[in-house]
Amino acid sequence: MAAPRSVVTRRIGLSLGADLCWPACYEEIVRRLDLEIPVRKERIRFEVERVTIEPFSLAQPVKYDVVLDRLTHWYHTSREWVKKAVVMNDVYVLNNPFSIQANEKHTTYAAMMRLGLPVPETWMIPPKEYEWTQDLRITLRNYAKLFDLGKIGEKIGYPMFMKPYDGGAWVGVSKIDDEAALKEAYEKSGKRVMHLQKAVSPFDLFVRCIGIGPQTRVIKYDASAPLHARYTAEKGFVTDEEARLMREMTLTINAFFGWDFNSCEALRRDGVFYPIDFANACPDSQVTSLHYHFPWLVLSKIRWSLFVAATKRPMRHNLDWAPFFEVAREDLPFREKLRKYADIAEKRLEADRFEEFCAKHLAHLPEVAHEFFASQICREAVRGKVAQLFPAHEVEQFTEHFFAAIQRWREEEGRPS
């Protein structure tokens, strides 16, 4: 008679900033799943806990097996705790904090251009203003070369966009139609280091592809709409081949930089998708942004983090770019190269093993989710985020608006098969 399996608890820590809605949903769904998964000689259970901010010894142990991080890209105390947890304690962190800190938008543009992705023409320009120090004065006096901003504008061509080389959330972004507008935007750019990027104009489609582990979702995006309506619920706006292309592009970017979750923005012109912003390693996760797509995001985070925790997936500490660069050197059409890049990505993300894990151990997740997303607990999670962002007189209206979008998802995509 075989010896009974010992019960082992895997702990998942949520490192959070202003996130309210998705953590509440994540925690409750995992609780309702009540999992006990057989893995080799063990039965794995799961606990979810929110990571607190407090002083810590570099030598102290960490109680988490996995940390799902939404904070450390901007809050330094937590960032250093997370980095310590990876280096000292072998914690798996979504996303790799070293990669996020080192690889800003500028690096991602350069890397993906090398892989052959059709990134629009992009220049970096020195900042307009500085925090002056003696060494900086000497450095600029000896080495800073005067430049003609108008001539750079002519080389790139109008329209273009000026945007911070490491920014996000549309902060500091200016659309520029002529030389006068370029010079005016530069005068106002202050101490920011800026990119100038050729606009994809005109374009007939703007998409964002969200990737969480090997899971992807292509969404039509309307940048001109109010923030709560930019992710549209429209369907059928891409062909199957276009969806595959966006999936492969997103997985390539994520695996290249060691990111478990990220989003890739791309504009379609004359049938070509031009990636314009794909260093979003802390992408929109709130119901007030994603509305209809919010359940997909919550469930995707649950599936991937449970898989990582249960299988003790080892974290890739180093970014191995050589296999991608080997493909880049091959004399192949871009579409064939992208397929090869995606093959590398899917292997690194263990896509086949992940699908097998979900089918075997999370088969009841759709049923649990369908029930939960109609619950009062879900509605209160939505309301909590709405109350954080909307004026008091609009809270009930927009709570109902976003909750109704979730109910539409339940009917159209969330019914258990």
Residue 307 domain-assigned (yes or no): no
On whether residue 214 sits in a domain, the answer given is yes
Residue 194's CATH number: 3.30.1490.20
Residue 397 lies in a domain: no
Residues in the chain: 417
pLDDT at 1 over 80: no
Asked if residue 154 and residue 61 are part of one domain, the reply reads no
Q: What is the pLDDT of residues 275-322, one digit of tens each?
A: 999 999 888 999 999 999 999 999 999 999 999 999 999 999 899 999
Distance CA(255)–CA(258), nearest Å, equals 5
pLDDT tens-digit readout, 210-246: 999 999 999 999 999 998 999 999 999 999 999 999 9
Q: What CATH number is associated with residue 229?
A: 3.30.470.20
Q: Which of 334, 349, 364 is the last residue of a domain?
A: 349
Average pLDDT over residues 328-350: 98
- With respect to residue 289, please indicate whether it lies within any of the assigned structural domains: no
Clarify whether residues 132 and 179 are in a common domain. Answer: yes
Quick: pLDDT tens for 362-414.
999 999 999 999 999 999 999 999 999 999 999 999 999 999 999 999 999 99
Residue 364 maps to a domain? no
The H or E element that residue 44 is part of is strand 42-50
Rounded distance between C-alpha atoms, residue 254 and residue 307, angstroms = 18
Task: Cis check for the bond before 159: say yes or no (omega within 30 of 0).
Answer: yes
- What CA–CA distance (Å, rounded) separates 305 from 27? 12
Report the pLDDT value the prediction gives residue 166, as an integer from 0 to 100: 84
In this prediction, residue 3 carries a pLDDT of: 64
Segments forming the whole domain that contains residue 55:
6-102
- Do 319 and 266 reside in the same domain of the chain? yes
**For the chain, how many structural domains are there in total?**
3
The Cα–Cα gap between 179 and 176 comes to: 8
**Across all residues in the chain, what is the average pLDDT?**
95
Same domain, 191 and 217: no
pLDDT in tens, 171-208: 778 999 999 999 999 999 999 999 999 999 999 999 99
Task: Tell me, yes or no, whether 375 lies in a domain.
Answer: no
pLDDT at 2: 61
pLDDT for 417: 84
Instruction: Please state which of the ranges 39-48, 116-125, 398-407 shows the lowest mean pLDDT.
Output: 39-48
Q: What is the pTM of this model?
A: 0.95
> Given this model, what pLDDT does residue 168 score?
66
Whether 335 and 265 share a structural domain: yes
Q: What was the pLDDT predicted at 348?
A: 97
Instruction: Using a pLDDT cut of 70, give the percent of the chain over it.
Output: 99
Residues 110 and 246 in one domain: yes
Judgement on whether residues 226 and 327 belong to the same structural domain of the protein: yes
Q: Are residue 130 and residue 74 in the same domain, yes or no? A: no
Q: What is the pLDDT of residues 127-176, one digit of tens each?
A: 999 999 999 999 999 999 999 999 999 999 999 999 998 876 667 789 99
Kind of pairing, strands 66-69 and 6-15? parallel
Average confidence (pLDDT) over 7-35: 97
Residue 217 and residue 187 share a domain: no
Residue 390 domain flag: no
Domain boundary among 198, 221, 240: 198
Residue 353 pLDDT > 70:
yes
Query: Where a domain ends, among 168, 198, 228?
Result: 198
Partners of 231 in the beta sheet?
221
Q: Is 4 helix (H, G, I), strand (E, B) or coil?
A: coil
**Which pLDDT belongs to residue 127?**
95
